[in-house]
Amino acid sequence: MPMKLLRLALISLFCAFLFNAASRAVVRGIQQTAPSAGPEKIVREFYAWYLHQLNKNINEPLKQRATALKYLTPQLYSNAPRLTRRMDADIFICAQDWDVGWERNFIVGRPAISGVTATTLVTLPSGEMDKIRIKLTLKRTGAAWRIDKVACAN
């Protein structure tokens, strides 16, 4: 009888070990595949960073490549200088100059998500009545959202 109890105890211990290891692997897998931040948060963080850099008189924030690539797809990052020259304005603010108040007053609209893409509107107050609107398209790359397209929506 003691031998049966010992065998049963060992089998129970082994099963508990396997269950514990399997559940940790599942949790790790969920953490790795869950999006780290939603599209609205990415846009909000990007504009907070970008406008803060402009307010610090850093006229080319995208030269901070590592930081910019936390928010932008590599394609948009590499095309941004050409798009800015073509538009003759900063593509992220749809203007040549910026207002220091934008850093604290920009508005990010609720994103519309469809599969691996999302669109949202950023609004920058400009004077009493005017507003600058920027339409952003984001793409989910792996587990993260990145801004992929920018268009002035005025």
Other Cβ atoms less than 10 A from the Cβ of 98: the count is 19
More confident residue, 52 or 30: 52
* Mean residue pLDDT across the chain: 85
For residue range 106-136, list pLDDT tens digits in order: 999 999 999 999 999 999 997 777 899 999 9
DSSP string, 83-122: HHHHHTSBTTTTBSS--TTHHHH-EEPPPEEETTEEEEEE
Does the pTM surpass 0.85? The reply is no
153 exposed, middle or buried (CB, 10 Å; 0-12, 13-18, 19+)? Answer: middle
In the chain, where are the structural domains located?
1-34, 36-152
Element holding 123 (H helix, E strand): strand 117-126
Among 15-24, 50-59, 78-87, 105-114, the range scoring the smallest mean pLDDT is: 15-24
Q: What CATH class does 36-152 carry?
A: alpha beta
Q: CB under 8 Å to 112, separation ≥6 — which residues? A: 118, 119, 120
